[in-house]
Structure 1
Amino acid sequence: MSFQPVFVQFWEKVKESIANGTYAKLTLAKTIGDTELKNIYVRPVLLANDVFSLSLSAKYKTEEIESFHTIDEAFLVLTPYLNNPFLTALLFTTENDITFKLNKKRVASIIEQAPTFKHASDVIIEMKAKGII
């Protein structure tokens, strides 16, 4: 069974958290074995003229590569990294922490826990103040 339908549900929670101003950060982590790519961090940014974008920072052993994408583009960019090399995606919001997880048999699940962060990301707070969200 494919994990993609569950990741689509997870991504809906990402979009909801941005829309309602509770998004703190998103991290792809827990690699399979020793890989060159260690983490991908997803942070909201405001580009010129207050254009909302997501910054994807891919942390490798020897370098970091940053790219900017719309919410829908980010989904397409991140999906191929699930299952190879990442087994988890962690969404931190002010309401709860939501974890997309692939187990050893590559069955996907979504787990919700108490929030780690008390405040949304600075960009989300700025967007609320400017009336963008």
Structure 2
Amino acid sequence: MTYQDVFVEFWDHVKESIAAGTFAKLTMAKTIGKPELKNIFIRPIYADNGFKVLLKYSFRPRETEDIETELILEDALPIIQTHLKTHFLSVLLFTTTKDVVFKVNKKGMGSITETHPTFKNVIPT
């Protein structure tokens, strides 16, 4: 199964955690090479006008200021997909019930694993 197909399944976990109110954070990790872009984080924003996310680009040189953007979840998806396999090989979903890890291996195959939750509470931005 291609990594794109497995990522669709992973993204379903993201949407389910938001619907259940258990979404804590999403982090792109395992960079390819030594790029300036160190991480991409997505944190929840629970507001009166609906659910949004804070997308944060974190850079390796400390002199470079992080970039933060407020988006709806659907607008964050293509950003995450663009960076998969070009800058990052894994995406970690942290929820209050479980952690879900999506990985792309060197052959371009995707996999999903679940572990015990890192976060016990949702900390909205």
Asked if Structure 1 and Structure 2 have the same fold, meaning a TM-score greater than 0.5 normalized by the shorter chain, the answer is: yes
The correspondence of residues 1-133 of structure 1 with structure 2, limited to 5 A, is 2-46=2-46, 49-61=48-60, 62-122=64-124
TM-score (norm 1): 0.84
The size of the alignment, in residue pairs, is: 122
Alignment RMSD, CA only? 1.5
| Greater than 3 Å deviation, 4+ residue runs | none
Quote the sequence identity (%). 48
TM-score, structure 2 length as denominator? 0.89
Contact 1:23/1:121, CA 8 A, preserved across alignment: no
1:61-85 alpha-carbon deviations (Å, 9 max, x no partner): 2221111221111111211000011
User: Where is the helix percentage greater, Structure 1 or Structure 2?
Assistant: 1
Structure 2's unaligned 5+ residue stretches are none
Q: Unaligned stretches of 5+ in structure 1?
A: 124-133
Once the 2 structures are TM-superposed, how far is the Cα of residue 87 of structure 1 from its aligned partner? 0.4
| 3-state secondary structure, aligned to 2:74 | helix
